[in-house]
Amino acid sequence: MPNFDPPDPNFEARVRESFERQRVMETIGARLKRVEPGGVEIELPFRHDLTQQHGYLHAGIVTTVVDSACGYAAMSLTPPGAEIVSVEFKINLLSPATGDLLVARALVKRAGRNITVCAGDAFMSGGAQEEKLVATMLATMMTVRGRA
């Protein structure tokens, strides 16, 4: 993982406060775990009411968690008062998202003044099962200044 120097020493509080305002995170039961400079981890316990037709987590729900992880990884490297919006992302679904717990881990690949590119992986685990990679994302985030 690259060693980033965050321009805002208060980055973690700012990320956590923004996450609290993402109402969909509470709706689906996602929890913000680690927040580091350029790296964020979000967890989602498996729930049957979030599944697709075969009983796996819907690709869009996996995406919701990984997108937020990418967005907050980008936000951790922004100056005070800046916000992040998702420009676009692409995600490959690699394995059925079944198990007890989904963990999304996002890392900044390049932080620019306006555009930040992040990579995010999602893993499922459960029971005696080791973590299994279920999805991988490449995302483009944009910094929006002066809204605070």
Q: What residues contact residue 53 under an 8 Å CB cut-off, 6+ apart?
A: none
Is residue 113 part of the contact set for a second copy (CB under 8 A)? no
Strand, helix or coil for residue 68? helix
Nearer to a second copy, 60 or 80 (CB): 60
Residue 51 has phi, psi (to 5 degrees) of: -95, 165
Separation of first and last alpha carbons in the chain: 30
73 — phi, psi (to 5°)? Answer: -60, -45
* One character per residue 19-58, x = contact with a second copy (rule: CB under 8 A): x-xxxx-xx--------------------xxxxxxx---x
In terms of Cβ atoms closer than 10 Å to its own Cβ (0-12, 13-18, 19+), residue 141 is: buried
> Any contact of residue 85 with a second copy (CB under 8 A)?
yes
Please count the residues of the chain.
Answer: 148
- Asked if 90 is part of the footprint of a second copy (rule: CB under 8 A), the reply reads yes
Q: Which of 46, 64, 82, 107 touches a second copy by CB under 8 A?
A: 64
Q: Which is nearer to a second copy, 64 or 78 (CB)?
A: 64
65 binds a second copy (CB under 8 A): yes
- Where along the sequence are the contacts to a second copy (CB under 8 A)? 18-19, 21-24, 26-27, 48-54, 58-61, 63-65, 67-68, 83, 85-95, 109-110, 112, 114-115, 117, 119, 133, 136, 138, 140, 142
